[in-house]
């Protein structure tokens, strides 16, 4: 089947590096770390006491949502991201006349609500009547009339959102689709759960240097929080209305390790299937790729496993294609990670510069890649690849082309 191109025409974000494209691009290319000591709750008995926190969730125009401050935090974050993406694409005022879908990666929405409301009547885990899900609350608050779904493949979630949203556009089910991820998982029990799993960095005395993908001294990932949502449209629709064009969603690929719930497969083949599927979908040869935004979370096992996958897919070309992990700056946004990393690819395309992997002082010899350590690199990027792998054995790859 011939695919009609699908373009990204709007971006909405609230991340540890900022809440506008300009802020995020500037911080990514300056190599700014968003990681700090967690101060929202006591962390003295947590193994990991650091995180890339949201500095705050920006408030949209009061006229659009006068009771915004009374909403739960997940609602405020998702609303900001979705409404900003629609405004950025020039569709906000027209949204009621369009069939707009929503596909959102999110996993911790109930955990956050249950934890915040423990012992309380309304919204608490002990209370039978729970509210509608986040996407349906967003659908109602934003006045969207297209289908809405939430999904989770843990850290790979938002790449699935791209794939589903693009397909809905191809099938004609929606005129516009909002896709992305929104996650606020830095809570006392989540920080404890990941910490007790020994997945998190314990570099508590040096937060900004804790997330160090591919570095020999990495000791785990850093939790992050935030959301990124994109407006997708078919190219003909976008061109007709002279919409902004950030990138084309050119290829999606997905596979599973079927190996372990947490540990990536030592066999690179399952993840290479996802990468090759995405490249074939985009009609791109490995040698054509100009930038790879790696999943690389800064865990000893995961970064090496991904390096083997990249070497298998790209062969000798991996020695010259720049690879970086922006999780070094943002921490791990979990279900929103893939969406943020798609945004990092767009920054690389538009700014003609690769965001660096910060804190990469001594590259792990088991990860022999064309790193971009600590400083951005000027580079023309037409085709970018972003990997996202998740608990449950999910492997996903997204290919973006300059539009």
Partner 1 sequence: MHATLSMHESALAIRACVTGWSALRVPSDQLAALRKNPGVVPKGPLPPSLLRTADEQTVVGLSAVLKAIESLPADTDFDRWGVLAAPVHFGRIVNHAALKQFQQEGAWGISPNLIPQHSLHALSGTISQVLQARGPNFGIGNAPSAAEEAFLIATTMLSEKILPGLLLVLTGHEREYLPTQPAPDCEAVAFVFQDVRPAEHWLSLRLCPHEDEHSDQLQSLEPFSLSRLVDALGEPAPSGAWRLGPSGWLRLEACSGDNA
Helix (H, G, I), strand (E, B) or coil at 293: strand
- Cβ–Cβ < 8 Å for 382, 59: no
Residue with Cβ nearer partner 1 (154 or 369): 154
Taking the C-alpha atoms of residue 194 and residue 225, their distance in angstroms, rounded to an integer, is 14
Q: How far is the CB of 348 from partner 1 (least distance, A)?
A: 26
Helix axes 337-351, 21-30, angle to 10 degrees: 80
Q: How far is the CB of 65 from partner 1 (least distance, A)?
A: 22
Q: Is 234 left (phi over 0), alpha (psi -120 to 50) or beta?
A: beta
Q: How far is the CB of 167 from partner 1 (least distance, A)?
A: 5
Taking the C-alpha atoms of residue 316 and residue 287, their distance in angstroms, rounded to an integer, is 9
Residue with Cβ nearer partner 1 (147 or 368): 147
Residue with Cβ nearer partner 1 (149 or 245): 149
Q: How far is the CB of 214 from partner 1 (least distance, A)?
A: 24
> Is 117 a catalytic site residue?
no
For residue 147, give both structure tokens: 């289908």
Enter the DSSP assignment of 365. T
Given 155, 252, 367, 370, which residue is catalytic?
155
> Is 332 a catalytic site residue?
yes
Q: How far is the CB of 317 from partner 1 (least distance, A)?
A: 25
Taking the C-alpha atoms of residue 345 and residue 206, their distance in angstroms, rounded to an integer, is 28
Residues making contact with partner 1 (CB under 8 A): 45-47, 107-111, 114-115, 118, 125-126, 128-130, 132-133, 135-136, 147-154, 156-157, 160, 164, 167-168, 171-173, 188-198, 254-262, 270, 273, 390-394, 396
How many CB atoms are closer than 10 A to CB 117?
17
Query: For tokens 């979908």, what's the residue?
Result: 281
Given 332, 345, 370, 371, which residue is catalytic?
332
- Cβ–Cβ < 8 Å for 243, 280: no
Helix (H, G, I), strand (E, B) or coil at 128: coil
Q: How far is the CB of 298 from partner 1 (least distance, A)?
A: 17
Residue with Cβ nearer partner 1 (183 or 364): 183
Given 237, 295, 367, 371, which residue is catalytic?
295
Closest CA to 21 of 8, 32, 12, 34: 12
Residue with Cβ nearer partner 1 (357 or 397): 397
For residue 125, give both structure tokens: 């885990």
Taking the C-alpha atoms of residue 156 and residue 81, their distance in angstroms, rounded to an integer, is 19
Residue with Cβ nearer partner 1 (176 or 347): 176
Taking the C-alpha atoms of residue 223 and residue 239, their distance in angstroms, rounded to an integer, is 39
> Is 81 a catalytic site residue?
no
Which residues are known catalytic residues? 155, 295, 332
């Amino acid at each position: 089947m011939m695919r009609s191109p699908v373009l990204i025409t709007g971006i909405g974000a609230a991340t540890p590096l900022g809440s506008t494209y300009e802020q995020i691009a500037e911080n990514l290319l300056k190599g700014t770390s968003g990681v700090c000591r967690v101060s929202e709750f006591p962390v003295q008995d947590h193994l990991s006491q650091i995180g890339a926190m949201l500095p705050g969730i920006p408030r949209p125009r009061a006229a659009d949502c006068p009771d915004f401050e009374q909403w739960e935090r997940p609602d405020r974050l998702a609303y900001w991201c979705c409404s900003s993406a629609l405004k950025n694409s020039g569709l906000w005022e027209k949204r009621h006349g369009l069939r707009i879908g929503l596909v959102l990666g999110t996993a911790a929405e109930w955990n956050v609500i249950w934890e915040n409301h423990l012992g309380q009547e309304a919204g608490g885990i002990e209370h039978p009547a729970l509210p509608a899900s986040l996407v349906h609350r967003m659908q109602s608050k934003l006045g969207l009339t297209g289908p809405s779904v939430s999904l989770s493949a843990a850290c790979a979630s938002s790449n699935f959102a791209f794939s589903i949203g693009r397909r809905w556009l191809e099938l004609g089910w929606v005129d516009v689709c909002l896709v992305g991820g929104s996650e606020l998982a830095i809570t006392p029990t989540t920080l404890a759960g990941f910490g007790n799993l020994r997945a998190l960095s314990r570099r508590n005395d040096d937060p900004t240097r804790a997330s160090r993908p591919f570095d020999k001294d990495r000791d785990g990932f850093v939790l992050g929080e935030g959301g990124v949502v994109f407006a997708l449209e078919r190219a003909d629709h976008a061109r007709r209305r002279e919409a902004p064009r950030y990138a084309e969603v050119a290829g999606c690929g997905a596979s599973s390790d079927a190996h372990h719930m947490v540990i990536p497969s030592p066999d690179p083949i399952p993840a290479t299937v996802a990468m090759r599927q995405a490249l074939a979908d985009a009609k791109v040869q490995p040698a054509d790729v100009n930038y790879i935004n790696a999943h690389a979370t800064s865990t000893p096992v995961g970064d090496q496993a991904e390096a083997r996958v990249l070497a298998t897919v790209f062969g000798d070309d991996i020695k010259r294609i720049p690879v970086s992990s922006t999780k070094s700056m943002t921490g791990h946004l979990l279900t929103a990670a893939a969406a943020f990393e798609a945004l990092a690819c767009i920054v690389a395309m538009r700014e003609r510069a690769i965001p660096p992997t910060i804190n990469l002082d001594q590259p792990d010899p088991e990860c022999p890649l064309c790193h971009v350590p600590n400083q951005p690199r000027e580079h023309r990027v037409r085709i970018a690849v972003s990997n996202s792998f998740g608990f449950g054995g999910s492997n996903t790859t997204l290919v973006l082309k300059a539009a």
